[in-house]
A and B are shown apart, each in its own frame.
Chain A
Amino acid sequence: MIRQLFGALSALLLAGVLLGGCKTTEEPVDPPPTVVKPPVVTPTPPPKKPEAEPPTIGPDGNITLPGASEPLDAIFYFEYDQARLAPADIRVLAMHAQQLRDYRNFSVKLEGHCDERGTREYNLALGERRWQAVRRYLISAGVRSTQIEGTSFGEERPVDPGHDESAWAKNRRAVIVYNR
């Protein structure tokens, strides 16, 4: 008995909701002026970030996002005799790609470096593979090839002049340097 009453009530409520819905869709006779946009040429707003402050590029080519206290990481490390980007680096690389998409007037110089082991000329070629790995990612993320240049320095420009594993690990790197 109670259950039947409850059922009838909910049916009524549902009918009310449906009726209300029907009413709103049927109501307008004239199409609202906002639906059909007149082909007015309005000045296009600045793309994407109308009010955002642009990132700043430091004297040594690093980039600092607005509000950030530290420049964006720009050094990406590699395994011995490898030129594959580490998956953990993709998040930061994506942030670089976004800056380069948002600011098409920005351009970067990529550097490829190696540790001292092996021959100088082979390392020159390996360093080339490393900066090209970064380039490939940036291009796939929408950066234009005209925004990117690259140079391999092989083993000629170590950041750590030491001769042990920890020095070598720091020297096997690709670097993003923003042009000012």
Chain B
Amino acid sequence: MNAQVLARTLCLAATALAATVAQALEIVIQEGWDSPTKVAVAPFGSAMPPDEPDPMASVDLAGIVAFDLTRSGQFSLLPADNMLSYPTAPDQVFFRDWRILGMDYLVIGRAWTEANGAVSVVYHLFDVTSEREIASSRTTAAPEKLRDIAHRISDEVYEHITGIRGAFSTKLLYVLVEDAATNSPTFHLKIADADGARARTVFRSKEPLLSPSWAPDASRIAYVSFETGRSTIVVQNLATGERTHVAAYPGINGAPEFSPDGTQLAMSLSRDGNNEIYTLDLASRELRRITRWPTAIDTEPSWTADGTSLIFTSDRPGKPQIYRVRLDRLLPERLTWEGDYNARARLLPNGRHLVYVHRRDRVYHIAWQDLERGTVRVLTQTSLDESPSLAPNGTMMIYATQDLGRGILAVVSIDNGFSYLLPEAAGDVRDPAWSPFIDALRGRP
């Protein structure tokens, strides 16, 4: 009941915000949490003389921060219309105004243009209960980095309140299919901000594109492309656009995943007759075969954080299940035992929890599993769910699903059941990959 009311409020807030930022992926919040932390982000001030260009005319910094925090599912944001005052500097803050409104935390800030054309933004985070400033910082960057500055503020606010590193400065890599229901679809590989904004196409093809994955420093991506008429693994440098076909063996070249140190790709190749797991050293191009099971499909490898093991899907027991193999021993160990279809697993950063595609009552969901206790929990309430990918801080998971027959992306909180959808008006979206942590204010992409 409480959650329902909250969900409706969030949905309205999200729609209002979405309208202001012209994004390709819209965000529709589905479900709320009953007892989120209450935060107010007061509209940021502009310290500009009236005749100077206002850096915030195009970018609503407070709106971006509020929307970021909302999407974590851990916070309830106070709409600006309900605020009693609009402080932009610490000496304008009257804690009483925020305590009356039941706020736990308050964020204020302001922005201005420097003499050299750069923009500076300063923010302050206050604990309303203790009436103390918890954090504050000033960032200066090129004007086109304003959104990045806003996301960094969200990251810092989130970390100060929760103790967990924020992942709002991250990117989403995904496949958009235009005209999917026709016999002439176009496949776009796209990168957008984690909030769906600033989507851009990094590769386009009339042939299928799938399984995109990020290098650990986010400078390169790997994916499967059918541009030659058959599957090939491509590594693409995001700064230069340079593309290298790293695996074009006979049969399937699929499921590329960068090792945590970025030097290798794990993949699934059928060059020896059936799908087996391999690792490819990107510098020497040396291929190493990891699995040997001539009658089974072995695919969808992913790395453990320490790079010593791979998690993969195998149908060696007759139906697909998740296995783990140490690269120094090559003896796979089965991890999943519930249900007859478990596939495409990804480990959480803590290494103890797993998410994967799980079929239950003929419906495909994403399940979460505690590897030590064996507990299995279904995370999603949609159907035909696939391609789970985790935010680098392990708090949220993005996945592909269907809504009214259209492919959309959805995000669900690992811990609190909060979820939102990211449909794309231009077509079907699928195969999302959440980027590693990115310092957008320093480098790419």
Residues of A near any B CB (own CB < 8 A): 81, 116-122, 124-126, 128-129, 151-154, 156-157, 161-163
Contact partners of A152 in chain B: CB under 8 A: 231, 252
Interface hits, B220-258 → A, CB 8 Å: 224, 226, 229-231, 251-252, 254-255
B254 with A121: CB separation less than 8 A: yes
Interface pairs A-B: 10 shortest CB-CB: A156-B208, A161-B181, A125-B297, A125-B275, A119-B344, A121-B255, A119-B343, A151-B230, A121-B299, A121-B300
B313 with A122: CB separation less than 8 A: yes
Bound Cα distance from A129 to B274, whole angstroms: 8
Bound Cα distance from A47 to B42, whole angstroms: 88
Count, chain B residues at interface, CB 8 A: 38
Does B393 lie at the interface of the complex (its beta carbon under 8 Å from any beta carbon of A)?
no
A157 with B208: CB separation less than 8 A: yes
Bound Cα distance from A128 to B271, whole angstroms: 11
Interface hits, B400-426 → A, CB 8 Å: 402, 405
CB B203 to nearest CB in A, in angstroms, measures: 15
**Interface SS, A side:** mixed
B297 with A126: CB separation less than 8 A: yes
CB B415 to nearest CB in A, in angstroms, measures: 24
B297 partner, pick from A120, A129, A156, beta carbons under 8 A: A129
Bound Cα distance from A81 to B255, whole angstroms: 19
Does B357 lie at the interface of the complex (its beta carbon under 8 Å from any beta carbon of A)?
yes
CB B274 to nearest CB in A, in angstroms, measures: 8
5 A-B residue pairs with CB within 8 Å: A118-B364, A118-B386, A121-B210, A122-B320, A128-B270
Bound Cα distance from A125 to B252, whole angstroms: 7
A119 with B387: CB separation less than 8 A: yes
B268 with A121: CB separation less than 8 A: yes
A124 with B384: CB separation less than 8 A: no
Contact partners of A157 in chain B: CB under 8 A: 208
Does B192 lie at the interface of the complex (its beta carbon under 8 Å from any beta carbon of A)?
no
Bound Cα distance from A120 to B226, whole angstroms: 14
Closest Cβ neighbor of B318 among chain A residues: A81
Contact partners of A116 in chain B: CB under 8 A: 384
Closest Cβ neighbor of B340 among chain A residues: A81
A124 partner, pick from B254, B315, B405, beta carbons under 8 A: B254
Contact partners of B313 in chain A: CB under 8 A: 119, 121-122
